Amino acid sequence: MPYPSSTLAYTDCYEAFDAALEHPKGVKVPCESSEAAERLRARMHYARKLHRESNATIYPEPDHPLHGRSPYDIITIRLEYNDKVWVRLEPTQSFAKVIEPITDEEDRPEQTPEPERVAPTQAPLPTSARFRRRV
């Protein structure tokens, strides 16, 4: 059965998304089973899709920052299996603490010599003399 297409059916998902945006490291929601966690994750992805679609109609100008986008797009949804099954909602974070521009000196990487090529060795011979051909 398909998921409901009304955003009112996903208030629990939007509450979890809002809580994840408020906390710098995100939040986690306990689930009864792995099937329930997978269902919740799928509902959350669909709720985010509905939010994008509603923002596309609310903000019809393509130049608007929320046209076809959702503030929940920066949330990563993962499943965690510990003593319980959790759905983790974490804000996507940059891997680099400082992003620096490339200067002219760094623009061209230094030429590194290619490693010496080693001649290929002969393939090992089979240990059994009998082979069966798969057809």
Say yes or no to pLDDT of 10 above 70: yes
* pTM of the complete model: 0.68
Rounded CA-CA distance 91/93 in Å is 6
Mean pLDDT of the chain, nearest integer: 85
Q: How confident is the model at residue 133 (pLDDT cuts 50, 70, 90)?
A: low
CA distance 30 to 84: 7
85: β partners: 31, 81
For residue 30, the model assigns a pLDDT of 96
Confirm if 47 and 5 have CB atoms less than 8 A apart.
no
| pLDDT value at residue 86 | 96
CA distance linking residue 75 with residue 123, whole number of Å: 49
Contact (Cβ atoms closer than 8 angstroms) between residue 52 and residue 59: no
SS3 65: coil
**pLDDT tens profile 19-54:** 999 998 999 999 999 999 999 999 999 999 999 999
